[in-house]
């Protein structure tokens, strides 16, 4: 990204799938395969986005992972597909538009709701992220995320193969919940803790996106993006209607703009004009209480203070689920502390960590065990300083997994 200096606000592109369908792609087709068979359709679309003002194009690699490509029998061609798709978008982008590697939800779930392991998710994303990095993308965008596990796996994967920026975008309903029940505020707290460079909402109705951004901005330490849906072809809001939402997006904290399903080049051109008319310097700075520390479980945002009371430490026994539920019922501070003292504790913790709703303090006096527990935990935990671990190690855990150091 250093070769193309950019500053906020930024304008992304619009939809890919719905626009390709308008150009002949059959419903239900494997987009990545269809694009490679019909490259001119993609080039026409993405060149139109550049002409409309897009500063960032998403390569059509949304499902170009081994899970998505299995639909067309190409699960073993991840590197080839990502390279070819990025090359196409680079042709459309020219020299002044960034190209992002697009990563999709995998549709995999952790036990007890599914049969996939977290490391399996990381492996799938790592294979694609490495292919995208090798293809020379300027940044990664993990979008339309619905679960904390897949989003965390994508971020870990991208950061393991590249130092290029990673942006994460979730979709949500009017309550700010994903289809699996995760609060997008909790998702933002976790993603920015893990080093995401931007966070936002996509594939969400414009009015819903504006309301939810208001909830995010008081705790956002990174830029917020909004890429709302304009609706399906034939039943979508007009470019003017989408552009009319820009002042509300900007007032709610968005600094990166774009469109999702139903939003084409005309929508992007209207967004460009609307964004140009916003005086971003007129918005007052967000006031934050330094004593309020955001944490998160897999689905809930939680807030603690530096002197939080974690109660009695909970051991990883076969009764861990019941112990967690009891502790959360009686905890006056909304925080609990779980000890990871040996390898067997990790299996028990992995089986029950989804029950945690309150802020979680993880404890271990063995560095390797603490890191494994942080990797397993699908939230953002904190360290209360009671253990005897090296400061440099703890700082590494903070950078990698978002561990909060009190």
**Which residues form the domain of 393?**
293-405
Residue 322 lies in a domain: yes
DSSP state of 52: H
Mean pLDDT of 255-269: 96
The C-alpha atoms of residue 155 and residue 61 are separated, in whole angstroms, by 16
Is the pLDDT score of 1 beyond 80?
Answer: no
Do 303 and 384 share a structural domain? yes
Do 110 and 65 share a structural domain? yes
Among 216, 251, 282, the domain boundary falls at 282
Among 260, 282, 304, the domain boundary falls at 282
Condensed to tens digits (0 to 9), the pLDDT of residues 33-83 reads: 999 999 999 999 999 999 999 999 999 999 999 999 999 999 999 999 999
Is the pLDDT score of 151 beyond 80?
Answer: yes
The C-alpha atoms of residue 85 and residue 342 are separated, in whole angstroms, by 45
Structural domain total, the chain: 2
Residue 41 lies in a domain: yes
Rounded to a whole number, what is the distance in angstroms from the first to the last CA of the chain? 34
Residue 268 lies in a domain: yes
Q: How many residues does the chain have?
A: 406
Residue 287 lies in a domain: no
Q: What percent of the chain has pLDDT over 90?
A: 89
For 349-376, letters b (16+ CB in 10 Å) and e give bbbbbbebbbbbbbbbeeeebbbbbbbb
Do 307 and 215 share a structural domain? no
Do 184 and 147 share a structural domain? yes
Do 389 and 335 share a structural domain? yes
Do 315 and 202 share a structural domain? no
Q: Phi and psi dihedrals of 364, rounded to 5?
A: -160, 145
The C-alpha atoms of residue 371 and residue 358 are separated, in whole angstroms, by 20
Do 277 and 148 share a structural domain? yes
Q: CA 158 from chain center: how many Å?
A: 12
Residue 320 lies in a domain: yes
Do 58 and 177 share a structural domain? yes
Q: Which is it for strands 301-304 and 293-296: parallel, antiparallel or unpaired?
A: antiparallel
Do 261 and 330 share a structural domain? no
Question: Which of the two residues, 283 and 2, has the higher pLDDT score?
Answer: 283
Do 318 and 278 share a structural domain? no
Mean pLDDT of 152-173: 97
Confidence of residue 231 (pLDDT cuts 50, 70, 90): confident
* 379: CATH: 3.20.20.20
Is the pLDDT score of 2 beyond 50?
Answer: no
Please name which of 39, 122, 41 lies closest in space to residue 88, comparing C-alpha atoms: 39
* 197: CATH: 3.20.20.330
The C-alpha atoms of residue 40 and residue 275 are separated, in whole angstroms, by 30
Do 245 and 191 share a structural domain? yes
Least confident of 179-188, 261-270, 292-301, 305-314: 305-314
Residue 337 lies in a domain: yes
pLDDT at 163: 96
Among 236, 259, 282, the domain boundary falls at 282
Q: Which is it for strands 301-304 and 313-314: parallel, antiparallel or unpaired?
A: unpaired
SS3 of the chain: helix, strand, coil, percent, to 5: 45, 15, 40
Confidence of residue 206 (pLDDT cuts 50, 70, 90): very high
Residue 3 lies in a domain: no
Do 312 and 362 share a structural domain? yes
Condensed to tens digits (0 to 9), the pLDDT of residues 313-330 reads: 999 999 999 999 999 988
Residue 179 lies in a domain: yes
Structure tokens that stand for 58 in this block: 């998403």
């Amino acid at each position: 990204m250093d070769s193309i200096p950019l500053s906020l606000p930024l304008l992304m592109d619009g939809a890919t799938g719905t626009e390709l369908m308008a150009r002949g792609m059959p419903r239900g087709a494997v987009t990545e395969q269809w694009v490679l068979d019909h490259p001119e359709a993609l080039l026409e679309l993405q060149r139109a986005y550049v002409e409309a003002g897009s500063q960032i194009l998403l390569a059509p690699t949304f499902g170009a992972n081994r899970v998505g490509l299995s639909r067309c029998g190409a699960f073993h061609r991840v590197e080839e597909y990502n390279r070819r798709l990025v090359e196409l978008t680079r042709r459309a982008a020219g020299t002044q538009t960034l190209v992002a590697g697009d990563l999709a939800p995998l549709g995999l779930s952790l036990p007890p709701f599914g049969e996939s392991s977290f490391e399996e998710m990381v492996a799938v994303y790592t294979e694609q992220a490495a292919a995208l990095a090798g293809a020379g993308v300027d940044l990664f965008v993990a979008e339309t995320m619905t679960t904390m596990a897949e989003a965390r796996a994508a971020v870990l994967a991208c950061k393991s193969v590249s130092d290029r920026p990673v942006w994460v975008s979730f979709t949500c309903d009017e309550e700010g919940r994903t289809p699996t029940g995760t609060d997008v505020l909790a998702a933002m707290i976790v993603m920015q803790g893990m080093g995401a460079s931007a966070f936002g909402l996509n594939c969400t109705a414009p009015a819903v996106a504006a309301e939810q951004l208001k909830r995010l901005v008081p705790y956002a330490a990174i830029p917020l993006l909004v890429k709302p849906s304009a609706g399906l072809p034939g039943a979508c809001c007009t470019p003017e209607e989408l552009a009319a939402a820009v002042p509300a997006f900007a007032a709610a904290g968005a600094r990166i703009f774009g469109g999702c399903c139903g939003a084409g080049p005309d929508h992007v051109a209207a967004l460009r004009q609307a964004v140009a008319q916003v005086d971003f310097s007129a918005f007052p700075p967000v006031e934050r209480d330094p004593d309020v520390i955001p944490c998160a479980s897999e689905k809930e945002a939680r807030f603690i203070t530096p002197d939080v009371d974690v109660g009695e430490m909970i051991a990883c026994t076969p009764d861990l689920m019941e112990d967690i539920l009891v502790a959360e019922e009686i905890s006056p501070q909304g925080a609990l502390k779980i000890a990871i003292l040996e390898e067997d504790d990790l299996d028990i913790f992995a089986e029950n960590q989804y029950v945690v709703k309150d802020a979680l303090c993880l404890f271990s006096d063995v560095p390797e065990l603490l890191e494994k527990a942080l990797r397993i935990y699908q939230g953002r935990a904190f360290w209360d300083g009671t253990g005897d671990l090296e400061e440099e190690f703890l700082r590494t855990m903070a950078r990698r997994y978002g561990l909060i150091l009190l």
